[in-house]
Amino acid sequence: ALRLNFHADSETWVVSIPPDPDSIRWADLEDDPNAAGVEACVGYGLVVALYLAYIPITVGISRLAGMVDMGPLEPLWVGFVPSLGLTLMISFLPTFLILIFKSFFSLKDENWAQHKLQTYYFWFNVTFVILVTAVGSSVTEFARTLLTEPFAIFGLFGKTMPHATHFYMNYIVLQWVTHTMNMTRYINLGKFCLLRKLYNEEDARRMAEPEDQD
């Protein structure tokens, strides 16, 4: 390897740092290229479907939550309900995306799945957190406006975002709750308590770690 001569043409050799053997998805290395292409098309279709269904699902969750009678806590509940659907979808979106990527894409390495998740999750957040007030209840209508009149988006933001200050304030408070829950590592604790009934404590502790990487 030390005496290997590379060609002067940069397009002749394509080299990269190999993945760690522990993270290689060996089954993906055996995928048929034609079948992998078809599965990738299905995967992209599911990502698009998730993108289009995102707002209806978010609104549906918030409406269902609004039907719950919290009694004395009703004023507090009403304040957080509008951003509850968005918070839940943002929390579960990485799980949905990673399932699609690992099921329909030939990734060959676990880190590739994480990189793909990071890229798609970023654009989902840009669209449905930062631009959610401009998107409104219809993603297709927003996309049509963006394609036919690109400069109209600035006027759209100017009309819609000032009326959403309370929405974003509630959303930020709910993010405090989400991050505080993550710091308690309640998922790992729940796994440990469940597995402890089936295995000894050391095995249960090892099986409860680490956190899900999605």
The 10s digit of each residue's pLDDT in 125-178 is 888 777 776 666 566 667 777 778 877 777 777 777 776 677 777 777 777 877
CA 195 to chain centre: 28
Q: Of 107-111, 132-136, 142-146, 203-207, give the lowest mean pLDDT range.
A: 132-136
Contact 39, 106 (CB under 8 A): yes
Here the contacts of 52-59 (C-beta below 8 Å, separation 24 or greater) are 52/139, 52/140, 54/89, 54/124, 54/128, 54/139, 55/128, 55/132, 55/135, 55/136, 55/137, 55/138, 55/139, 56/137, 57/85, 57/89, 58/85, 58/86, 58/88, 58/89, 58/128, 59/85, 59/137
